[in-house]
Amino acid sequence: MRLSPGAIKTLLKVGFHNSLKASATMSTTKVKTIRDFGYDFNAEGKLRKIDPQSGEPGDEPFDFNISKDHATNQRNYEALGETITDRVYELLEENGLHKIYVPHNIPKEQATFVFANKKDLSGSKKLMVLIHGSGVVRAGQWARSLIINHSLDHGTQLPYIKKAIEQGYDVLIANTNDNYRNIDGVERRIPQSGSPTEHGATIWEKYVMGSNPEAVSIVAHSYGGVVTLFLAKKYPQFFSDKVFAIGFTDSVHSMSGMPDGVREYLRNVTRNWVTSTKPLDEKLDSSSGDVLRYSAGHTKHEWTSYACISALFKFFETKYEDFRTNPKTKKQKVEL
């Protein structure tokens, strides 16, 4: 279903605070492994109960209602979710990505981290930045519920990463919700990464602008759209010169207060694939001044990134060809 205006306002208002709350909770909890819960991912990336005889994932899917007490079930689900986060981090590295600590000049245990397919992105020909939404998700995830209830391909960013690298992109994976660390029993903000937008600005300055890529694209889900517009407003000329395409997946952004020049630029390079009963990539009505909206081909918010991947990459291919062959599209002065 499509998010109502009220739901969008609520997400914009509480998304950041929810991410802080989730960060604080996770950092003080002892995390087990997935197998400690009696589950693991099978060869298809589906979470299945471990067969006691073979010791391998069997056919039985995850069961939320393992207890008669809902509170107990919820705690177990959240604890399992934390192990999912660690497993996704491992999968990113197993798929050739490098963990890069942010900021780099403090002890690792006090820092957050991002992932990239190269340790040094300098001079990248095409760079894709992936930004997840708010809440409990971390780098490499779009939707934890889809990882648990469907598969790794449904809920992680791995399909985007693999497809991007196949098409010649370098990739940078943001970790915007990882904002706190427990230091000597006290929850402290991570320097330069104490909020989603601060994290976004830090990695944008150091690893995007700092690497001087030829061309940049962004994929952002839900609250990731808010982070993206913050960056576009903060670094308008770099966006105009380098960012050739932005793909939102059911973003909850607002264009209110956006300078006209930046707004016009964003409308030219951005599509927002939103929940809809319409077929994938069918153009939908858009609010005046907002980015263009297209159907994600699914009615549920958390499914949109998975559902629209083919349409999004097709759009990026078209925008990159235009960027590459038409110099005027790369050097448009943004008037503030």
The rounded distance, in Å, linking the Cα atoms of 19 and 295 is 27
The rounded distance, in Å, linking the Cα atoms of 19 and 22 is 5
| 222 tagged catalytic | yes
CB atoms within 10 A of CB 102: 22
Residue pair 272/243 in contact (Cβ under 8 Å)? The answer is no
Residue type, 68: K
The rounded distance, in Å, linking the Cα atoms of 84 and 298 is 24
- Matching residue, tokens 């605070």: 17
The rounded distance, in Å, linking the Cα atoms of 15 and 195 is 11
Q: How distant is the alpha carbon of residue 307 from its chain centre?
A: 15
Which listed residue (134, 222, 240, 305) is catalytic?
222
User: Phi and psi (nearest 5°) for 193?
Assistant: -150, 35
Q: DSSP characters for 192-239? A: T-SSHHHHHHHHIIIIIGGG--SEEEEEEETTHHHHHHHHHHHSHHHH
- Calculate the alpha carbon distances from 137 to 4, 85, 134, 248, 295 in Å: 22, 7, 7, 17, 24
User: Phi and psi (nearest 5°) for 63?
Assistant: -115, 110
**Angle 250-254-257 from CA coordinates, rounded to 5°:** 160
The rounded distance, in Å, linking the Cα atoms of 113 and 108 is 9
Residue pair 58/38 in contact (Cβ under 8 Å)? The answer is no
Closest CA to 155 of 167, 166, 165, 146: 146
Q: Looking at the annotation, which residues are catalytic?
A: 222
